[in-house]
Amino acid sequence: MSGLDQEQRQLLAAYWWRRTEGEHTSWLGFQHVLADLRAEGSPESVLALAERAVEDEYQHTQRCRAWASHFGHPGGAITARGEKPIAFRGATEVQNRLLRIALCGMSETIGCFVLRHARPLIEDPELREFNRHTMADEVQHSRVGWGHLATISPAQRDFLRPWVPALLRILHGSLCESRELEREDLIPFGYFSGRLLRAAYEEAVESVIWPGMEHLGIGRSA
């Protein structure tokens, strides 16, 4: 990392701080999802995964903040991108719970692919270990959403089916339209470029999310 110039360090410091805020937002989001799962009477095994995810996301926040500091960020108060549970227009309270749980599973699935796409380009041993550890966590986190969806009723599957494209549009907007720079030179230092995010999103959607939804009787061929 000694070969980085000042501009690269500034970009990485700002980026890792955004990652810090993103992980902090996920920490809050998983608390909301955990409450949703409890209200829905989800199986104990799913609740245990969600409880672990809350703790994991807190640790991810702290580790991202440490990387931001490493690249020169001055630190400060961490601001969440939103503190209230996500709510979908036209959905009841009960329906919103199901939509948040589904969105969580889809988001964490895409996160696994983002980390997998970045991994071959990361050279620093500590960053590779962070990538490996975080990806292992994300796999477990994705099972929170998928695990609950495997237990829902036929009526809930019918409700969710037309919402899946809308949920994917939300995720596409947050990832693929995030305006991250096309800086391939920064990927070895943990940066997710726009190209990488788009490629990971497309692979996750086509190879896991749609097949998974179809397997559960929710997808486009159901």
- pLDDT, residue 221, reads 52
Look at residue 156 and tell me if it is in a domain: yes
Residue 222 lies in a domain: no
Amino acid 219 reads G
What is the C-alpha to C-alpha distance for residues 22 and 197, in angstroms, rounded to an integer?
Answer: 15
Q: Each residue's pLDDT tens digit in the chain (222 positions)? A: 668 999 999 999 999 999 999 999 999 999 999 999 999 999 999 999 999 999 999 999 999 999 999 999 998 999 888 889 999 999 999 999 999 999 999 999 999 999 999 999 998 999 999 999 999 999 999 999 999 999 999 999 999 999 999 999 999 999 998 888 999 999 999 999 999 999 999 999 999 999 999 999 998 754
How far apart are alpha carbons 188 and 70 in whole angstroms? 15
CB neighbour class for 103 (10 Å; exposed up to 12, middle 13-18, buried from 19): buried
Instruction: Assess if residue 42 is contained within a domain.
Output: yes
Count CB-CB contacts under 10 A for residue 102.
22
- Which pLDDT value is given to residue 222? 46
Q: What is the reported pTM? A: 0.94
What tens digit of pLDDT does each residue of 35-55 get? Answer: 999 999 999 999 999 999 999
**Residue 70 covered by a domain:** yes
- CA dist., res. 12 & res. 204, Å (int): 26
- Residue 122: give the domain boundaries: 6-76+83-215
Flag whether 221 is in a domain: no
Asked if residue 126 is part of any domain, the answer here is yes
Q: In the prediction, which pLDDT does 111 show?
A: 96
The reply to whether 1 falls in a domain is no
Residue found under tokens 């807190």: 58
Residue 198 covered by a domain: yes
User: What is the number of other CB atoms lying within 10 angstroms of the CB of residue 61?
Assistant: 21
Name the domain count of the chain. Answer: 1
